[in-house]
Structure 1
Amino acid sequence: MQLTVNKNEEDKKVPTTYSRTNPFPAKALKNVNLNGPGSSKETRHIELSLQGSGLSYNPGDALGIIPKNDPELVASLLQEMNWDENTVVTINKQGETLPLKEALTDFFEITLLSKKILQAAAELTENEELKSLVLIENAPQLKEYTNGRDLLDLLKDFGPWKATAQEVVSLLRKMTPRLYSIASSLAAHPGEVHLTIGAVRYNAHGRDRKGVCSVQVAERIQEGDTLPVFVQPNKHFHLPDTQEKDIIMVGPGTGIAPFRSFIEERAVNKAPGKSWLFFGDQHAASDFLYQDELEKYQKNGVLTKLDTAFSRDSAEKVYVQHKMLENSKELFEWLENGAYFYVCGDKQYMAKDVHNALLSVIEKEGSMTPEQAEAYLNDMKTQGRYQRDVY
C-alpha cells in the first residue's frame, strides 16, 4: 500500500535550512554609529534578529550578508547607456531572467573590474584605447586601470558602445556575499547576532566611491528592515577549548568585533582564564569603540587588562604594536604560561606590525635569536595558540 503525504503537511515537517545559497532575512533591531562627533570614521553597530532561523554560531565565526548595489550607481549606469530599466535580461546559465534595474541592483557585481571583464568588453566597442589596453604587453597598465574603478568608469571611458544591455551584463560576475566577524556571543544575546561594520567611503579617479555592503548598512538599513544573511563558521579562529586558558587579543578599529564576542562568551561562562585586550584607533574621544562596555568588563574583572593606543592623540603616532612592546615582559610571561594570542583587523599593515612586535617580544624577553623566536611562534601556531582573522 502506498502512503500518500499531503504536500503541505510535508512542508511543515521539514524545517528550512538557511545557508549561503538560501540566506535568512534577518530583521535589523538596532543600527547605531559608534563613533563620536568629530570622528573621520563611521562604524556601525548593527543588531540583527535570528529568531526563527535555526541559525547558531560560535565566537570567532563570521556572518555573510548578500548586499544590494547603491541605487544611485545603478541609476547612473542606466542613464550613461540610455537603457530601459525594465528590459528583461538573462542572469545565469540556467536561463533565469530579471528586469535590468533589478539585475544591476541585486544580482551583479558592478563595483569591481577584472582583466577578464575588460578583455571581453573590448569586443563590444571600436574604442582603440581599450583594444590597446587589453594587449598582453600592456598588462601592468590594465592591472592599474582595474584597481579602484568600476563598471560605470569602464562604460564612460571607452565608448561608444555597440553593446546591448544583455551583452554588458553577460560580462559581469554574480554579487559575492560580504563576510563580517560576528561581534556578539549567542549565549549573551540568544536569537541575535551583532556586527561592527566600518563604512567605506573614499574618492578615487575623480568620483566618490562607497563600499557596497558597508554603506548599504550605514545609509539604507533602518530598524525593521531585513538583510539576507548566513553563518560562515571559522574553524581557525576560536576560543581555547578550556576556559582556564588566558587569552591576549589585539583588535584595533573594527578588529574589536570578534573580541567583543570572546569577552561576552567568557563573561556568561564565568571563565577563570585571564584576558588582555589591546585596542587602538585614531582619537580616544571619538573612536573608542564599545568603551563603556569594555571599561565595565575591566572593572568587574572579566577583562583582566585593557591597553589602548590612540594614534592621533599624541605628537608621535602610537599603535597597538607599540603598546605590546611597552608591556613586553608581562606579555612574554603570559605566553610562557600558555596564553593564546589573537589578532583581528587590517592584513596589509597592522597584522604584519603586530607579528613583528610579537617576534621582538619573544626574542628580547626569552633571550632568543631571531631564528629561535620564529620557531617559538611557529610552535604556538602548531598548538593553535596564535590565531589571526585578518582582511
Structure 2
Amino acid sequence: MHVTDVEKVPSLFSRTNPFQAKVLKNVNLNTEGSSKETRHIELSLQGSGLSYVPGDCLGVIPQNDPDLVAALLEEMKWDGQAAVAINKQEETLPLQEALLNHFEITLLTKKIVQQAAALSDNEELQQLVADAEKLKTYADGRDLLDLLRDFGPWKASASEIVALLRKLPPRLYSIASSLTANPEEVHLTIGAVRYTTHGRERKGVCSVQCAERLQEGDTLPVFVQVNKHFNLPETSDKDIIMVGPGTGIAPFRSFIQERAVSKAEGQSWLFFGDQRSATDFLYQQELEQYQQEGALTKIDVAFSRDTEQKVYVQHKMLENSQELFAWLERGAYFYVCGDKQNMAKDVHNTLIDVIEKEGNFTREAAEAYLAEMQAQGRYQRDVY
C-alpha cells in the first residue's frame, strides 16, 4: 500500500466515536492582572487518522463539573451508584457517572421546567409554568440545581428527573493551528467562562473543565467538524483581511501558520482586540514574529481598557478605511471570527460604512457591494 493510499482512508473517529486526544500543553495566555483566562491547549492526534484544514472546528465531548454533580446528589439525597437509563435503548449508567458525562445539567429549557411541574405539588411552580413570560425569565441563567432547590419537595425518583434532561452536547471550537505547520497536532484557544447570577457562581461546562481540571497527559474526547463556509482562498496569491478579537484570533492563527509554511504570495492583515495590551494580547510574540518574517503583512490592535474612550476593532477599521477599501477593490477576502451578539454586527455595519465612504456609494450600493463579496465567498464569518 502506498503512503498516498493510507492518507485517503477516512478516520475511524467521529462525533459518535470521538478520539481520545492526549493533552500536550495547557497554558493561560493572559498574564497576571488580567480579568480573563484564555487557555492555549495543544492536543496530539497521533494514531487518529484525523485531518483538518484552517477554518475547521474541533468538537470536544465535555464533562460536567464534579462539584455541581456532588451538589445535585446532596440536594436530592440521591445514591450516586443507582442505575439510571441514559437513552431510549434503556442502556444504564450509575447516576453519578450519567450526570457527569451524559446529561446537560447547566441549562434549563421551558420544556424541562414544564415537565418537572408534574413531579411537584409546589404552588409557585404551577403558577410559573402557567405564565410563558415568567417561565422564560426563570429558565434564563438558571440550572437543574436551582430548579430542584427552588421547588421541592419532589415526588419523583432520580430516574424520573433524569428522564427530563437532554444529552450533553459537544462543544465546537475554531481550530487554532495548521496541520501542515503542526503535524499530528491540533491547538485550541478557549476563554474560560465564569460569572455569578442568581446568587451562585456559574462555570462554562467545557471551558472551565479545560481551565481547571485538564492536565498535561490527560486525554480529551474530540472529533473534527468540517467548516465549508470559512476557508482560506483557493489560491495563495489572494490578500486576506482577518478580524478576530479575543478568542476570535483562533482560526486566524491557523490561517497565518498555513500561509507561513506555504510561503503564500498574498498579503495578510489582522485586526485584533481585547481589554488590555499588557495582559490580554494573545499570541503577541508569535504574531510579531510572523510580521517580521513577512507571513503577516499588517496588524492593527484595539485594547478597549487602555484608553478613556473604549477602542474596538471596528474603530481601527474606520481609522484605516482608505487602505481597507483599496484591499477590497484589489479582491481581498474579508474574515470575521468571534462574538455574534455585538462584535460581528458592529464589524458588519462598519464594513458597509467604509465601502460607502471610500467608494462614494449610497448606503444601498455599499450593501450590494458587500452582498456581492459574500456571493463570491470573499466575506466569511465564523461567529458564535
Q: TM-score, normalised to structure 2's length? A: 0.97
Does residue 218 (structure 1) correspond to residue 178 (structure 2)? The answer is no
Shift of residue 300, structure 1, vs aligned partner: 1.1
AA matched with 1:265: E
Task: Report matched runs for 1:133-172 at 5 Å.
Answer: 133-135=128-130, 138-172=131-165
Mapped to 2, the partners of 1:91 and 1:130 lie a distance apart of: 26
| 1:6-47 deviations in Å (ceiling 9; x for gaps) | xxxxxxxx9861000000000000000000110000000000
Mapped to 1, the partners of 2:10 and 2:160 lie a distance apart of: 40
Aligned partners of 2:54 and 2:255 also within 8 Å: yes
AA matched with 1:358: L
Mapped to 2, the partners of 1:273 and 1:320 lie a distance apart of: 22
Residue in 2 aligned with 1:355? 348
Choose which of 206, 231, 238 in structure 2 pairs with 1:245.
Answer: 238
Does residue 23 (structure 1) correspond to residue 18 (structure 2)? The answer is yes
AA matched with 2:29: L
AA matched with 1:241: E
Secondary structure of the structure 1 residue equivalent to 2:118? helix
Residue in 2 aligned with 1:314? 307
Secondary structure of the structure 1 residue equivalent to 2:364? helix
Does residue 179 (structure 1) correspond to residue 176 (structure 2)? The answer is no
Residue in 2 aligned with 1:98? 93
AA matched with 1:205: H
AA matched with 1:376: Y
AA matched with 1:217: C
Residue in 2 aligned with 1:229? 222
Secondary structure of the structure 1 residue equivalent to 2:22? strand
Residue in 2 aligned with 1:191? 184
Structure 1: give runs of 5+ residues left out of the alignment: 1-13
Aligned partners of 2:325 and 2:358 also within 8 Å: yes
Shift of residue 153, structure 1, vs aligned partner: 0.2
Choose which of 106, 122, 128 in structure 2 pairs with 1:111.
Answer: 106
AA matched with 1:333: A
AA matched with 1:288: F
Mapped to 1, the partners of 2:381 and 2:243 lie a distance apart of: 10
| 1:296-343 deviations in Å (ceiling 9; x for gaps) | 111111100000000000010000000000000000000000000000
Mapped to 1, the partners of 2:362 and 2:285 lie a distance apart of: 41
AA matched with 2:25: K
Mapped to 2, the partners of 1:209 and 1:228 lie a distance apart of: 23
Secondary structure of the structure 2 residue equivalent to 1:134? helix
Shift of residue 131, structure 1, vs aligned partner: 1.0
Choose which of 341, 359, 363 in structure 2 pairs with 1:366.
Answer: 359
Does residue 62 (structure 1) correspond to residue 70 (structure 2)? The answer is no
Shift of residue 104, structure 1, vs aligned partner: 0.3
Residue in 1 aligned with 2:3? none
| 1:43-98 deviations in Å (ceiling 9; x for gaps) | 00000000000000000000000000000000000000000110110111011000
Mapped to 2, the partners of 1:198 and 1:134 lie a distance apart of: 35
Structure 2: give runs of 5+ residues left out of the alignment: 1-8
Residue in 2 aligned with 1:378? 371
AA matched with 1:378: A
Mapped to 1, the partners of 2:289 and 2:140 lie a distance apart of: 43
* Residues 16 and 240 (structure 1), Cα distance of their counterparts in 2 relative to 1, 3 Å cut: closer
Residue in 1 aligned with 2:290? 297
Does residue 73 (structure 1) correspond to residue 68 (structure 2)? The answer is yes
AA matched with 1:309: A
Secondary structure of the structure 1 residue equivalent to 2:125? helix
Does residue 274 (structure 1) correspond to residue 264 (structure 2)? The answer is no
Aligned partners of 2:11 and 2:50 also within 8 Å: no
Mapped to 2, the partners of 1:382 and 1:259 lie a distance apart of: 22
Does residue 37 (structure 1) correspond to residue 53 (structure 2)? The answer is no
Shift of residue 227, structure 1, vs aligned partner: 0.4
Shift of residue 266, structure 1, vs aligned partner: 0.2
Shift of residue 132, structure 1, vs aligned partner: 1.2
Choose which of 47, 53, 57 in structure 1 pairs with 2:42.
Answer: 47
Q: TM-score, normalised to structure 1's length? A: 0.95
Secondary structure of the structure 1 residue equivalent to 2:372? helix
Aligned partners of 2:176 and 2:188 also within 8 Å: yes
Mapped to 2, the partners of 1:299 and 1:21 lie a distance apart of: 43
Residue in 2 aligned with 1:10? none
Aligned partners of 2:276 and 2:304 also within 8 Å: yes
Secondary structure of the structure 2 residue equivalent to 1:209? strand
Mapped to 2, the partners of 1:344 and 1:381 lie a distance apart of: 15
Mapped to 1, the partners of 2:134 and 2:261 lie a distance apart of: 54
Secondary structure of the structure 2 residue equivalent to 1:44? strand
* Residues 359 and 316 (structure 1), Cα distance of their counterparts in 2 relative to 1, 3 Å cut: same
Mapped to 2, the partners of 1:268 and 1:91 lie a distance apart of: 46
Aligned partners of 2:20 and 2:221 also within 8 Å: yes
